[in-house]
Amino acid sequence: MEKQKVVYLDNAATTQLSTEAYKEMLEAYNSVYGNASALYKLGRDADELLAKARQRVAKAIGASPSEIFFTSGGTEANNWAIKGIARANRDKGNHIITSVIEHPSVLESCKALEREGFKVTYIPVDEFGVIKYSEIVKAIGPDTILISIMSANNEVGTIQPIKAIAELAKANKVIFHTDAVQAIGAIDINVKDIGIDALSLSGHKFYGPKGVGALYVKKGVKIDNLIDGGKQERGKRAGTENVPAIVGMGKAIEEITENIEENNKQLRSIRRYFLKQISDLIHNISLNGHPTQRLQNNASVAFEGAEGEAILMMLDREGIYVSTGSACASGSLEPSHVLLAMGKDIETAASTVRFTFSKFTTKEDIDYVVAKLKKIVKKLRSISAIRIYKNKVEI
Ligand SMILES: Cc1ncc(COP(=O)(O)O)c(C=O)c1O
């Protein structure tokens, strides 16, 4: 039997591991298996690997190594940043500002804080998914201690004006955190130049391994410990470190941030090619997100009169992997909170499919996907009750 072609277009959910990162991880697994806290050479070697990875992560975002804390991923980094900073600064106030389109790890952390008595303002977005800056200005008050706004959105790829928000926060003596999980490697982020006080990142979104991430906390910013125990991560996040995963993340972030422009050029060309192909071949589609202020690897497309989940399942049978909304929300058939916040109706949200490309995506992959997509959308539209009812979508 001929092997089925596989096209992976869900790179906002996770990415394939970089070969170089994998090699360094293998070396760490096989040869440097000591506990990084141990005093003998095998332990010191592991500790050195941690130091090197910390340096690489710090360099990638313009921080100093002592400001980097390793975590189990983006979710943990976001939970820690929001809860840890809010609780440690409660004496200064109890108000937090975030946006309606944040990742659930930010939104649920804020909800947990609300149950503790904190007040949270959720800033709305415009039709392109850009946070309404003027609403942040209005929301800031004497009790505001933290603003948390993502650098780029995971569902529609819109890049947020984080420099302006960081400046506003600084002018009001408010701590600024950004969830940069989708932005690392896609946009150049220097925490000092932008004025970021805390930043979350996650290894598996930039060709590193899963289950590892980091939180940058600017020197002087007060944050509660996440896990009490030993002295790992300067006593703030205790527990034996996952050295191979941290090593892999360090290599991956070095590779990706050294090649941002080149990668973006390639992704832009793939994205344009994809959009041209689908708009030539499939009618009645619309794009979600900002036309220019956006990640180049993301195309969020609504196929009017066809259901996103059905498209996903039919593509799956052809070896093509995409997503509807965010991976974290899949499994639930709830319409995307991001698309609804952008003013999209439920039908548009339900007919949206997210295609996210990687440095491995080729034009041949796109040709294959678009050919399959054309047939699938046509078929789904021909049996769509909504289309028949409205009697308008051209198939
Ligand atoms: C914007 C954003 N923040 C946080 C996360 C969570 O990261 P992790 O999967 O490492 O927990 C994700 C993952 O989808 C994300 O897209």
| CATH assignment of the domain containing 273 | 3.90.1150.10
Give the Å distance between the CA of 127 and the centre of ligand 1.
23
Give the Å distance between the CA of 211 and the centre of ligand 1.
11
84 and 189 assigned to the same domain: yes
Q: When comparing pLDDT for 329 and 176, which is higher?
A: 176
CA distance 96 to 82: 9
CA distance 92 to 4: 59
Residue 334 has what pLDDT? 80
Give the Å distance between the CA of 106 and the centre of ligand 1.
10
Give the Å distance between the CA of 261 and the centre of ligand 1.
23
Q: Is residue 352 part of a domain?
A: yes
Distant-in-sequence contacts of 167-175, Cβ < 8 A, 24+ apart: 167/195, 168/133, 168/136, 168/137, 168/140, 169/195, 169/197, 170/195, 172/140, 172/144, 174/97, 174/140, 174/144, 174/145, 174/146, 174/147, 175/85, 175/89, 175/145, 175/146, 175/147, 175/221
245 and 351 assigned to the same domain: no
129 and 202 assigned to the same domain: yes
* Best mutation site among 11, 205, 326 for ligand 1 pocket (most ligand atoms within 8 Å of CB): 205
CA distance 314 to 330: 16
Residue closest by Cα to atom 13 of ligand 1:
13
Please name the residue that has the structure tokens 């344009």: 272
Q: Is residue 230 part of a domain?
A: yes
Residue 383 has what pLDDT? 87
pLDDT digits (tens, 9 = 90+) for 144-195: 999 999 999 999 999 999 999 999 999 999 999 999 999 999 999 999 999 9
End-to-end Cα, the chain, rounded Å: 33
Give the Å distance between the CA of 216 and the centre of ligand 1.
15
* Ligand 1, pocket residues at CB < 6 Å: 73-75, 78, 103, 105, 150, 154, 179, 181-182, 202, 213, 327-328
pLDDT at 34 > cutoff 50: yes
Residue 327 has what pLDDT? 46
Nearest-CA neighbor of 281 among 374, 392, 387? 374
Residue 390 has what pLDDT? 60
Domain count, the chain: 2
Alpha helices in the chain (DSSP H): 19-31, 41-61, 74-79, 85-88, 104-115, 133-139, 162-171, 191-194, 243-258, 260-281, 308-317, 337-341, 346-350, 363-382, 385-390
Nearest-CA neighbor of 150 among 108, 178, 189? 178
**Residue ending a domain, choose from 258, 293, 322:** 258
* Best mutation site among 75, 107, 356 for ligand 1 pocket (most ligand atoms within 8 Å of CB): 75
Q: Is residue 267 part of a domain?
A: yes
CA-152 nearest atom, ligand 1 = 1
CA-328 nearest atom, ligand 1 = 14
* Best mutation site among 202, 242, 249 for ligand 1 pocket (most ligand atoms within 8 Å of CB): 202
Please name the residue that has the structure tokens 């995307």: 336
Residue 303 has what pLDDT? 96
Q: How many CA atoms, within 13 angstroms, populate the side-chain half-sphere of residue 381?
A: 21
47 and 143 assigned to the same domain: yes
289 and 206 assigned to the same domain: no
351 touches 303 (CB < 8 A): yes
pLDDT at 388 > cutoff 70: no
* Best mutation site among 80, 108, 162, 182 for ligand 1 pocket (most ligand atoms within 8 Å of CB): 182
pLDDT digits (tens, 9 = 90+) for 23-33: 999 999 999 99
CA distance 74 to 343: 27
Side chain identity at residue 383, one-letter code = I
Residues above pLDDT 70, as percent of the chain = 95
Residue 121 has what pLDDT? 98
Q: When comparing pLDDT for 222 and 3, which is higher?
A: 222
289 and 377 assigned to the same domain: yes
pLDDT at 316 > cutoff 90: yes
Residue closest by Cα to atom 8 of ligand 1:
74
pLDDT at 394 > cutoff 60: no
Average pLDDT of every residue of the chain: 95
Beta strands 352-356 and 298-303, pairing class? antiparallel
Q: Is residue 167 part of a domain?
A: yes
Q: How many CA atoms, within 13 angstroms, populate the side-chain half-sphere of residue 246?
A: 27
Residue 144 has what pLDDT? 98
Residue 332 has what pLDDT? 62
Partners of 199 in beta bridges: 178, 216
325 and 351 assigned to the same domain: yes
247 touches 18 (CB < 8 A): no
Q: How confident is the model at residue 331 (pLDDT cuts 50, 70, 90)?
A: low
Q: Which domain CATH number covers 203?
A: 3.40.640.10
Q: Is residue 80 part of a domain?
A: yes
pLDDT at 279 > cutoff 70: yes
Q: Is residue 2 part of a domain?
A: no
300 touches 157 (CB < 8 A): yes
189 and 294 assigned to the same domain: no
CA-73 nearest atom, ligand 1 = 10
Q: Is residue 395 part of a domain?
A: no
Give the Å distance between the CA of 310 and the centre of ligand 1.
25
Is 110 considered catalytic here?
A: no
Residues above pLDDT 90, as percent of the chain = 93
312 and 247 assigned to the same domain: no
141 and 281 assigned to the same domain: no
Q: Is residue 224 part of a domain?
A: yes
**Residue ending a domain, choose from 209, 235, 258:** 258
**Residue ending a domain, choose from 204, 235, 258:** 258
Residue closest by Cα to atom 16 of ligand 1:
154
What single DSSP character describes residue 153? -
Both tokens assigned to 132: 């309404």
For the whole model, what pTM was predicted? Answer: 0.96
pLDDT at 329 > cutoff 90: no
Domain that holds residue 342: 7-15+260-390
99 and 174 assigned to the same domain: yes
CA-211 nearest atom, ligand 1 = 10
Side chain identity at residue 143, one-letter code = D
Residue 62 falls in which region: left (phi positive, over 0), alpha (psi -120 to 50) or beta:
left
Give the Å distance between the CA of 200 and the centre of ligand 1.
9
267 and 248 assigned to the same domain: no
Beta strands 285-288 and 213-217, pairing class? unpaired
pLDDT digits (tens, 9 = 90+) for 82-127: 999 999 999 999 999 999 999 999 999 999 999 999 999 999 999 9
Q: Among 212-221, 280-289, 376-385, which is the least confidently predicted range?
A: 376-385
- Residue among 275, 287, 328, 386 flagged as catalytic: 328
Both tokens assigned to 81: 């940043």
Residue closest by Cα to atom 5 of ligand 1:
74
Residue 387 has what pLDDT? 57
CA distance 103 to 12: 12
